[in-house]
């Protein structure tokens, strides 16, 4: 490591300890030449996720953009922010585990909707209406019907005639 005081490349590590909740290592170093002490941090280098938009432009993945969309969809709904942050964490982990460097906004939107459906139906429909850009009421009704069909409870076949009355 280059000494910030004299520019010498020879140093020794005096102390190492975890930093940033284990995401980095903090090292105290001492220059062999001038005895100056300085601190360095060592982190795992991560490749940024690039999002390919509908118009084929690219931008760096920004979890805050997803969070803002989810907050709008969940407005006045009993959905804790922690569950939305967990949803975004799961999506980010899924993308990284698939070793994808680029992901489309369509893929991200589908991942969000898949998870949001299990959190809140109303928020799901709100998000879908913006994400899918429904052109008419028919396409909107299709998603509502699909959601309703998934949530219809199975009839209890073990219920006796006396219990039905």
Whether residue 147 sits in one domain with residue 72: yes
pLDDT of residue 164: 47
| Phi, psi dihedrals of residue 60, rounded to the nearest 5° | -70, 140
17, 25, 66, 80, 90 from 86: Cα distances, Å = 29, 26, 12, 10, 6
pLDDT of residue 128: 82
- Structural domain including 31 reads 11-43
Number of domains, the chain: 2
Walk along the chain (165 residues) and give the pLDDT tens digit of each residue: 899 999 999 999 999 999 888 888 999 999 999 999 999 999 887 778 899 998 999 999 999 999 999 999 999 999 999 999 999 999 988 988 887 789 999 899 989 988 998 898 889 888 887 776 666 667 667 777 777 777 655 545 454 444 444
| Phi, psi dihedrals of residue 23, rounded to the nearest 5° | -80, -10
Q: Is the pTM of this model over 0.75?
A: no
Whether residue 132 sits in one domain with residue 73: yes
Whether residue 108 sits in one domain with residue 34: no
Whether residue 107 sits in one domain with residue 79: yes
Whether residue 68 sits in one domain with residue 36: no
Contact, 40 vs 1, CB < 8 A? yes
Whether residue 30 sits in one domain with residue 99: no
Whether residue 104 sits in one domain with residue 66: yes
Beta pairing, strands 50-52 & 58-60: antiparallel
Q: Is residue 67 part of a domain?
A: yes
pLDDT of residue 161: 47
Question: According to the 3-state scheme, what is the secondary structure of 63-85?
Answer: HHHHHHHHHHHCCCCCCCHHHHH
């Amino acid at each position: 490591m280059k000494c910030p005081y004299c520019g010498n490349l020879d140093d020794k590590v005096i102390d190492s300890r975890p930093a940033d909740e284990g995401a980095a290592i903090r090292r105290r170093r001492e220059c062999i030449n001038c005895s100056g002490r300085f601190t360095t941090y060592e982190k795992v280098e991560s490749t940024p996720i690039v999002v390919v938009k509908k118009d084929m432009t690219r931008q760096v993945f920004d979890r805050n953009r997803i969070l803002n969309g989810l907050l709008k969809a969940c407005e006045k709904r009993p959905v804790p922010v922690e569950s939305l942050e967990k949803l975004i964490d799961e999506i980010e982990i899924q993308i990284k585990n698939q070793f994808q460097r680029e992901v489309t906004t369509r893929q991200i939107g589908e991942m969000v909707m898949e998870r949001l459906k299990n959190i809140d139906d109303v928020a799901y429909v709100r998000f879908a209406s913006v994400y899918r850009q429904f052109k008419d009421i028919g396409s909107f009704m299709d998603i509502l019907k699909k959601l309703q069909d998934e949530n219809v409870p199975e009839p209890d076949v073990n219920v006796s005639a006396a219990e039905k009355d």
